[in-house]
Structure 1
Amino acid sequence: MTSQTESAPGSPARAVIQIPILLLGSLVRHVVLVPGKQRGEYVAHVREANDPLIEAMIEEALKEPDDSPRDYDLKPRFVLDYEDFRNAPHGELHSILDYFARGSTSKLKNDQRLRVRHEQVSSKTVVSNRRGKAPPRKSDDPVTWFFDKTHSDEANNADAKQRIMVLYDHDPYFRALVKRVSDDEASRERFARIAGACEGGVVLAINDHEIDREKSDSGERGDLALKWFRDSVDLCFKGVDPDRSVVIVSSDALRKCGLRISERGAVESCVNDIVGMIQSGDFNLPDMQGRFRHLVVVFREPGALYINLAEKKGCVTFGPNCDRHAQMHPAAYGRVPGKFTSMVTSVVRELCWTLDGKAPLDIEGALRMGVAAYNYHYDAGFMESRGDDASPFDDYIDMLGPARRASLMKSYEDAKEEYMLTCVSFSWGSAGSTWSRLDRIDEDFDGKLIEIVQYGLEEAFKEPQSFSRHNFKPPALITVPYSKYGSMKLVDPDEIERFSSLAKLLDKYLWTDNWSMPLSIAVFGAPGSGKSFAVKQIIARISPDRRSEPLVFNLAQFASIDHLTGAFHKVQDMALFSQEVPLVVFDEFDADFDGRPLGWLKYFLAPMQDGIFRGKEADYRVGRAIFLFAGGTSSSFDEFNASPGAQLQNQEENEEAKRVKLPDFVSRLRGHLDVAGVNPVKSADGTIAPIDRMLLLRRAILLRSSLERNAKEIFRKTRAGLQFANIHEDLIRAFLHASNYVHGSRSMEAIVQMSRFIDGHYVPTSLPMEELLRTHVDAKSFMAEIGGWR
C-alpha cells in the first residue's frame, strides 16, 4: 500500500492509502436503452468494455463521508489498465429499460420504477458512441497483455505483495481468456505465482453462466460446469493464504454443476443441501477447502449464504420483509441486475478495510451490507430522482457508496421493515447433523410465546442492536426468520417447505399461459385447520394484486349431478369474463354420494384431465382454473390415498378403490398440501403426541391473529407501527396449553369471539361461561392454567 495526502478546499488534509487491486473483470461492452420523452423513443447509454463497472463500484464503496472520524481514506489503484485493451474482441450486453410498478404491494399507478425489461449478450456491435479514429491496438493477445501488465507492476511497485486479486467470472468472452490460461501449463504456473503474491486476499467470483451447453473432447456435458469450478479454484488458490481467500458463486451456477440446492424453500433445507454438498465426496470440496476458507453462495432469491469451511459454521442472510415477490417476477416488475456484483464489491471492501490486520475479516457483515444495498437498489430502480444528465450506470456505481450507506442507516434508525435483515447462524459436525431456526430462541421459551401474542411475531423475534456509523454494516435485527403467506406467518420449517412447494406450483401455473387445462390440487387437514384459508393465503402471496373472490362449492350440500354441472358453468363464466384465473374450492369433495364413499370423484376426472364437463345438451370447456379440493374426512393426503383400499390390503378393497376411481383421481392431482392443526397429532393406533414447542408456537401465532381480527378493542399503540394486545398472561397460557380444541382453530377463534372485554382488557373473567367453553375445549384443563381458578 502507498500513502499520500489529499484534501478538499477548506477541509483538513487526510492521508490517502492506495490499495493495489488486480481485477480481472468483464470484457463486455454494456449498452443500456432508456425510454425517451416521446413514445417509442429510446436513449442509448454506453459503457465501453475498457471501463468495467465493478472498478467504479469498488472505488465508490471505499469512499467515506466528509464527517468520517478516520484521518485517512482508502483508494484502489487498479493494476490492469483496460484502456490498453479497448479494441480487443468483446461482446455487448444489451439492456432495455422500461417502467414497472414499484412493488407487489404498491397501490398507486403512478408509483413506478425504471427497471430492465430485456437483457442479452450479443457478439455484434449495435450501438456506437466512438468518435473519430480509434487509437491503435496495444495488445492483440489478452493473455500476453495480462502477463505483461502484471510483470510490469511487480517490477515497479514495492507494495505489489499487498494487493488484492479479484477474478470476476461474468461472461463467456472473459471466460475464454481464463480458460486459455488454465489449459496451458506454463501460463497456469505463472498465474499461480501472481495469485500467490496477492497477500491482501484473493476473490474468485463465479456468476451464473451457460458453459454446460458446450462440448468437451472427453464427451462430458453436464459435468463441464463442475469442471470449470474446480479448474478455477486450482488456478486461483495455489499457494494463496486460505484465511483471506473467498469463493463467491451463484446458486444457479452450482445447480448447473448438478448439485441439488433448494429454491424458495425453508432455510433449513437450503443449508442442509449446501452442507451436504460440502461433505459430499462427489463434489470434492473437502479437497478444495484447504485452498480457500470462505465460501459465499448468492441466491436467486434475495439473500446469500456464507460458510467458514475451517470452522464448520456459517449463516444465511436475507430480508424476510423485502418484496420478494416483485424480485422473483421480472415479467411483471422488471429486473434490476447487480445483486451478485454488490456481494463481490462488499467483500472486496471488507478485504481492503482489514488489510492492516487490526480487525478480523467479517464476511457476514459484508454480506449483510451487500443484501441490504441490493434490496434498496431494487426498490429505487434506475435513474430515480436524477437530472437529465443521469446515467443508469450511476445507480450501479452508487450501490455501496457513502450516500447509499447513509440512506440505509436512516432506514435502520426509522426501523423500516423492508430493510430489516435476519442472519441465521448454524454449525455442523458429522454427516447428517441437523439444526433448526428455533435453536436461536433462548431458554425463556414461555416468555417468548407471551411476547408473540402480546406484541406480534415480528416484534418478538426482533432484537434491536446498535451499529457503528463508521464502516457501517447493517445489523441482523430479526433473530428467527418467518415466512409470510398473505396474513399467515409460519416458523415451522416442515410447514414452510410444504407451503413453498405448493406456492411454486401455483406460481408456475399462473405465469404459464399455455398451460390451458385446470390445475388440480388437494388440501387436507383436521377439521378447523383452515385448509381453504391456507391456499387463499398462498395465492395472496404469489398474486398480491388479485381482486376476484374464490368460487366455493360444498359437495356435501349437493344432491344431484345437475348441481355440479351448474357449478362448472359458473366457473366457465368467470374464466371467460375475468382477466384472473378462477380459484374454485370444492369443499368436502370426499363426501359420500349416491350411496358410495368418495362418490363424487369420477365426475371430476374429465374436467381435471381435459378441462371439459358435460352439460344437459353438450360438452363445455372450463378454461384455465385452479381446482382446490378440500378434504372433509381425511386429515392428510396419505390417509385419503389409503382409503378405500389404495394400499392393496385385500382384493375387495382394491376393487372398491377402482370403482370410485380413487387412483384415477389421484393421478390427475398436480399437488397437495397437508395443513397442520392446533391439536396434538394422533397416530393410527390412537396415541396422542405430547404438546411440543412447534405446536405451542403455532398456537401463539394463531391466537395473535385471532385477536387482531376479533379483539381490536384490546390493542394499544405503544409506538409507531407497534400494537400491544392487552391480554392477561395466565389467559395466554390457557390458550397455549389447552389439551385439545374440539373444532380446531375454529374453537380458538370462537372463544375469543364469545369473550367480553373489560375496559379494553382481556382477562380471565372475560371468558364465556363454562358451559359454553366446554363446547370448544376441555374447560377443566383450560381453567387450570389460570391463577386463582385452579
Structure 2
Amino acid sequence: MSTSTPRPVVVVHGDALADWVVAQQDEGEPRPTTGPKWQDRQGEVRQREIPGGTRLLTRLIDEVSDDNVFVWSPTSSWGHIDWFDERISHYHATLAPFPETEKVEDFNNLQNFRWRISDDQGISRRRLCKNHDPEGDPKCYGLNEPDSADLVVIADAGLRFYEDHELPKAIKDNKENLPWLILKMGGDGMLDRSDRLRDVIHEVRDKVILVTTADDLRRVSGLEIARGTAWERAASDCFKIFESNDRISQYRFVVVSFGPAGVFLFDRVGEACSIFYNPVKVEGASDFWLNGRMWGYTSTLCTAIALEILENGTPLDSPVVAETAIKRSVRRGLKAMQEVYRNGFGPIVVKRDDGQTEFPMPDFPTSEIKKVLHIQDSELANDRNIAEGQVQSSDINASQMFAGGLDLKETARQIVYQGAEKALADTNIPYLKYGDVVTVDRREIESFQSVRSLVKEYAERTGTRVRRHWHRKDARTPVPLSIAIFGQPGSGKSTAVRQVIGSIKVRDKEFTFEEFNLSQFRDPSELIDSFHLLRDVRLQGKVPVVLWDEFDSFFERPLGWLRYFLSPMQDGTFQEGKSVHPIGRSVFVFAGGVASSLDEFQSQVESGVDSEAKGEDPEGNGKDSEAKRNFKEAKGPDFLSRVRGTMELQGIDKRDDDPLWVIRRALLLRSILKKESVLLPEGQNGEEAIDRDVLNAFLSVPKFNHGVRSMRAIVANSSLLGERFFSKSSLPNATQLKLHVNVDEFLGEMGG
C-alpha cells in the first residue's frame, strides 16, 4: 500500500485590505459636466477592488506555488467584499496611464502605457471585532484553521489585527516543531507596538525572516537611511542599523526592500550582509515614481521567499543551505518587483483577435510574477539588471563593496576599448548612463538623479514643487526652476546638462537648450536680450533649458551677475525700463566657471564663520569676514536660497580615498578619443587602436595640470589625423606635454 506525501500547508495571517482603484483615461482638457447629454461626454472609467495585505499574499502564494500546496488564511472564507464592510480596512487610490518604461517615445500609442497609481486617496480602518468569538464571526476569524503548518506568513501593517485575534495555531500551539515564519512588517511605530505578536515573535526569532522596507525603517525614531542615494551609502546606513539595533538584528534573516531598485539582506547566523541591486538605477529613480507608483512590492518579495522555502524540500536549519536559498529567493523577488513596476496594473488598451481594441479592467500582475519566479537559475544569474555586493562594515566605499577583487586599472582599459556598458556588464559596479554621459561616482549619481527628478516633475506638473496650480486665477507667474552645476573647467558641464535633462521624456513637452556665457557679456542689456529669447522659445510651446555659463565670473565686482537673477528666479519676471515681463516656464542652469564645487562657492561665507568661531578674528574685521561681507553684498546667500538643485562633476585626478577615480578618467578619455579621432569606431573593440603603454600613461599619471582640458589638449595635439593607431610617436613633444602634465611622471607611467 503506497503512502502519499503530506500536502504542504501555508498559513497566511494578519492585516487584510481591500484596495479600491479607479482608472480613467487621460483625455487632456476636462470635459463639460453640465448641459444636455453631459453623460455622453464623460470619459470611460473602471473601478474595482483588488485584494491587499494578507488577501494579496494568499492569492500570490496560492497561484505561484504547486497545486498540491494548501494555503489557508482567515480571509479564505470571506468571499465578496463590499466597499462599506467595516470589518476590513479599505484603501483608495486613483490610477492613470503612464509609459511602460522611460524609453517610450510614441506617446500617442496607448499600447505603450500601463495603469499605475497617480494619487492616494487614503485609508478607512476597520473596526475591531466585538465578541472575540472565532466561531461566531468567520468574517473576522476564518474557519477550519490548521493546527500545524510548513510555513507561516504574517502581515503586520499596524492595523491592530492582533488586538482582537489570536496568533496562528501553527505558532502558538506548536512550539516543539516550529515552522519558518515570514514576518512582513511595516507602518508607523513598527518596532514599538506592544501586543501578543511581539512576545511570541521574540521567542521564535531564530526561525523568523523579517521583511520590511527602507521607507518603514525611516519612520522609526532614531533610525536613518539616506533616500535616493548611491547603493554604497544605503548599504552603509542599513549596516549601522543592524549593528546598533537589537530589535531588528535579533531575527534569523532581515530583508529590507528598496522597491524594484534593490534589496538588502542581513544574515544573523552567517554574520553576512548582501545587497542586491539594479546597477543602473537607484532608489527613488524618477522612472520609479514620476511615471506612476505601484504597491505590492513587499508582498511580491515575501512570495518569492515563501516559494523558495516550499520548493527547497529541506528544512533551512543548515546555515549554508539557508543562506543560499534566501539569497536565491531575494534575487528572484527583486526581478519580480521589477516586473510588477513594468507591467503596472495592466495595459490601458489591448487589441482583440478581430482587430478591435478594448479597455480592460486593471488588476495586479499575478501571472507575470509567476513567470518570473519560475525562471531558470541560469537565466537569473545572467540578468544584467540584478547585481550583488557584499557589505563588511558600515565604513565602506564603492570600490570595497562592488569592485572587490576587480583590477580597476584593467577595467578602466576595457572601458576605453569597448565602452562603459560592455566593460561594466561583468562587474558589480553601479553606474548611470544618460545619452553619452556615464558616471560611476556616488555623488554624481545622486545629484544627476535628484536634478532629473526635479526637472521631470517641474515639466509634468507645470510648476515647481511649491507652485503646482498655475491655472488658478490667484496663482503667481510661473517661476523658472533653478539648478546649479559645478565642476573643473572642461569637465563637460554643458554636455552633462544636455544629456541628463535631454534624456527626460515628458508627454506633450519638448525641451530646447540655450547657452550663454556671462563672462562675455559687457552690459546688463545683453541679459535682457537673452530673457526675450527665452520668451520667444516659450511662445513656440517649448520648455527652454538655458545654461548660464560662468555665472560666478567678475562683472563690476566679484559675483556681480548674481543680483540680476534674483527677480527672475524668485518671481519669474524681468524688468526692462518701466516694463515688467514674465519669463514663463523654463529651467535655469547656472554653471560655475570660477568655483569648481558648491563648497568652494560657499567657502566665502564659511571661512568667515570658522575664523571668528576659532578666535582668529574676534573683531570680525579680518580677511575672512571681509570675504563674508562681500559674498552677502553680492547677494550670494539670496542667490543660493533660490536654487532648487545642484549637480557636481567630480575631477579625474588621482585620489587615495577614491579608487574609482581611474574609472571616471577612463570614461572621459574614451569620450575625448571618439570626438578627436577615428580610433574607436562604434561597435568595435579598440584594443588594437591604442598602444597599451600610451593608454597606461593616460590612466596612471596622478594629475593633469588643467583637469579634463589638459587631457583633451594632449589628445588634440597628438598626430592622429586619419590614423588608426595611437602610438608613442603620435604624442606631442615634451615641451607641449609640459603645459598639461608632469612630463617625467607621464613618460614614466608609459613604461609601467
Question: TM-score, normalized by length of structure 2?
Answer: 0.78
1:264 is displaced (CA, Å) by 1.3
Show the counterpart of 1:493.
442
Show the counterpart of 2:642.
668
Contact preservation (8 Å) 1:612, 1:621: yes
1:733 maps to 2:691: no
1:548 is displaced (CA, Å) by 2.7
Amino acid at match of 1:702: L
Matches within 5 A, 1:299-318: 299-300=258-259, 302-318=261-277
Contact preservation (8 Å) 1:346, 1:366: yes
Secondary structure at the counterpart of residue 523 of structure 1: strand
Task: Select between 254-263 and 366-375 the one with higher mean Cα deviation.
Answer: 254-263
> Taking structure 1 as reference, are residues 91 and 656 closer, same or farther at Cα in structure 2, changes over 3 Å only?
closer
Show the counterpart of 1:53.
56
CA–CA separation in structure 1 for the residues paired with 2:97 and 2:719:
50
Structure 2: 5+ residue runs without aligned partners? 26-39, 127-132, 469-477, 610-619
1:517 is displaced (CA, Å) by 2.6
Show the counterpart of 2:561.
600
Amino acid at match of 1:694: L
CA–CA separation in structure 2 for the residues paired with 1:652 and 1:48:
65
Structure 1: 5+ residue runs without aligned partners? 6-15, 64-72, 126-136, 155-159, 182-186, 213-223, 464-477, 681-688
Contact preservation (8 Å) 1:18, 1:77: no
Percentage of matched positions with identical amino acids: 26
CA–CA separation in structure 2 for the residues paired with 1:561 and 1:373:
56
Contact preservation (8 Å) 1:346, 1:400: no
1:25 is displaced (CA, Å) by 5.2
Contact preservation (8 Å) 2:258, 2:283: no
> Taking structure 1 as reference, are residues 195 and 302 closer, same or farther at Cα in structure 2, changes over 3 Å only?
farther
Show the counterpart of 2:7.
18
Secondary structure at the counterpart of residue 316 of structure 1: strand
CA–CA separation in structure 1 for the residues paired with 2:283 and 2:106:
19
1:141 is displaced (CA, Å) by 4.0
1:744 maps to 2:707: yes
Amino acid at match of 2:748: A
Contact preservation (8 Å) 2:563, 2:635: yes
1:616 to 570, 577, 581: 577
1:259-286: CA deviation from partner (whole Å, max 9, x where unpaired): 3221211112212222223334xxxx31
1:238 is displaced (CA, Å) by 3.7
Secondary structure at the counterpart of residue 669 of structure 1: coil
1:677 to 643, 646, 651: 651
1:398 maps to 2:360: no
Contact preservation (8 Å) 1:717, 1:724: no
1:383 is displaced (CA, Å) by 4.8
Show the counterpart of 2:312.
354
1:82 to 66, 76, 81: 76
Contact preservation (8 Å) 2:343, 2:365: no
> Taking structure 1 as reference, are residues 327 and 780 closer, same or farther at Cα in structure 2, changes over 3 Å only?
closer
> Taking structure 1 as reference, are residues 56 and 496 closer, same or farther at Cα in structure 2, changes over 3 Å only?
same
> Taking structure 1 as reference, are residues 761 and 386 closer, same or farther at Cα in structure 2, changes over 3 Å only?
same
Amino acid at match of 1:451: Q
CA–CA separation in structure 2 for the residues paired with 1:734 and 1:591:
34
CA–CA separation in structure 2 for the residues paired with 1:241 and 1:654:
57
Contact preservation (8 Å) 2:98, 2:115: yes
> Taking structure 1 as reference, are residues 537 and 56 closer, same or farther at Cα in structure 2, changes over 3 Å only?
same
1:610 is displaced (CA, Å) by 2.5
Show the counterpart of 1:694.
660
Root mean square deviation, CA, Å: 4.1
Contact preservation (8 Å) 1:757, 1:766: no
Show the counterpart of 2:103.
105
Contact preservation (8 Å) 1:302, 1:327: no
1:609-628: CA deviation from partner (whole Å, max 9, x where unpaired): 32332212412222333322
Amino acid at match of 1:368: R
Amino acid at match of 2:681: F
Secondary structure at the counterpart of residue 442 of structure 1: coil
> Taking structure 1 as reference, are residues 236 and 23 closer, same or farther at Cα in structure 2, changes over 3 Å only?
farther
CA–CA separation in structure 2 for the residues paired with 1:94 and 1:349:
29
1:421 maps to 2:368: no
1:680-703: CA deviation from partner (whole Å, max 9, x where unpaired): 5xxxxxxxx679623222111212
Show the counterpart of 1:762.
726
Show the counterpart of 1:274.
238
1:560 is displaced (CA, Å) by 0.9
Show the counterpart of 2:130.
none
Show the counterpart of 1:246.
209
Contact preservation (8 Å) 1:590, 1:598: yes
CA–CA separation in structure 1 for the residues paired with 2:15 and 2:512:
49
Contact preservation (8 Å) 1:164, 1:198: no
Show the counterpart of 1:286.
246
Question: TM-score, normalized by length of structure 1?
Answer: 0.75
Secondary structure at the counterpart of residue 70 of structure 2: strand
1:265 maps to 2:229: yes
1:602 is displaced (CA, Å) by 2.2
1:679 is displaced (CA, Å) by 3.0
1:62 maps to 2:41: no
Amino acid at match of 2:16: L
Show the counterpart of 2:17.
28
2:301 to 334, 338, 343: 343
Contact preservation (8 Å) 1:747, 1:777: yes
Show the counterpart of 2:30.
none
1:461-509: CA deviation from partner (whole Å, max 9, x where unpaired): 333xxxxxxxxxxxxxx42222334433222334434444544554554
Contact preservation (8 Å) 1:714, 1:727: no
CA–CA separation in structure 2 for the residues paired with 1:316 and 1:673:
26
Amino acid at match of 2:634: V
1:517 to 463, 474, 479: 479
Amino acid at match of 1:116: R
Show the counterpart of 2:34.
none
Amino acid at match of 1:679: D
Matches within 5 A, 1:502-541: 502-506=451-455, 509-510=458-459, 513=463, 514=467, 516-540=478-502
1:202 maps to 2:181: yes
1:534 is displaced (CA, Å) by 3.0
1:392-444: CA deviation from partner (whole Å, max 9, x where unpaired): 6876322442x44566879769x675xx211121123xxx6435344433263
Show the counterpart of 1:685.
none
Secondary structure at the counterpart of residue 263 of structure 1: coil
Show the counterpart of 2:172.
193
> Taking structure 1 as reference, are residues 238 and 696 closer, same or farther at Cα in structure 2, changes over 3 Å only?
closer
1:177 to 161, 182, 187: 161
Contact preservation (8 Å) 1:296, 1:307: yes
Amino acid at match of 1:597: P
Task: Select between 490-499 and 18-27 the one with higher mean Cα deviation.
Answer: 490-499
1:79 is displaced (CA, Å) by 6.0
CA–CA separation in structure 2 for the residues paired with 1:656 and 1:326:
39
CA–CA separation in structure 1 for the residues paired with 2:21 and 2:645:
41
CA–CA separation in structure 2 for the residues paired with 1:50 and 1:339:
11
> Taking structure 1 as reference, are residues 498 and 195 closer, same or farther at Cα in structure 2, changes over 3 Å only?
farther
Task: Select between 538-547 and 630-639 the one with higher mean Cα deviation.
Answer: 538-547
Task: Select between 745-754 and 346-355 the one with higher mean Cα deviation.
Answer: 745-754
> Taking structure 1 as reference, are residues 390 and 322 closer, same or farther at Cα in structure 2, changes over 3 Å only?
farther
Show the counterpart of 2:669.
703
Secondary structure at the counterpart of residue 552 of structure 1: strand
1:21-74: CA deviation from partner (whole Å, max 9, x where unpaired): 1111553345566679x98334555567899332232133224xxxxxxxxx86
CA–CA separation in structure 2 for the residues paired with 1:145 and 1:246:
25
Contact preservation (8 Å) 1:609, 1:668: yes
> Taking structure 1 as reference, are residues 264 and 233 closer, same or farther at Cα in structure 2, changes over 3 Å only?
farther
CA–CA separation in structure 2 for the residues paired with 1:189 and 1:18:
18
How many residues align structurally?
683
Amino acid at match of 1:115: W
1:298 is displaced (CA, Å) by 1.4
1:712-735: CA deviation from partner (whole Å, max 9, x where unpaired): 5533746xxx88774332221111
Contact preservation (8 Å) 2:92, 2:122: yes
Contact preservation (8 Å) 2:415, 2:667: yes
CA–CA separation in structure 2 for the residues paired with 1:79 and 1:4:
28
CA–CA separation in structure 1 for the residues paired with 2:379 and 2:8:
31
CA–CA separation in structure 2 for the residues paired with 1:50 and 1:324:
23
1:296 is displaced (CA, Å) by 1.1
1:565 maps to 2:561: no
1:744 is displaced (CA, Å) by 2.3
CA–CA separation in structure 2 for the residues paired with 1:48 and 1:204:
19
Secondary structure at the counterpart of residue 660 of structure 2: helix
1:565 is displaced (CA, Å) by 1.3
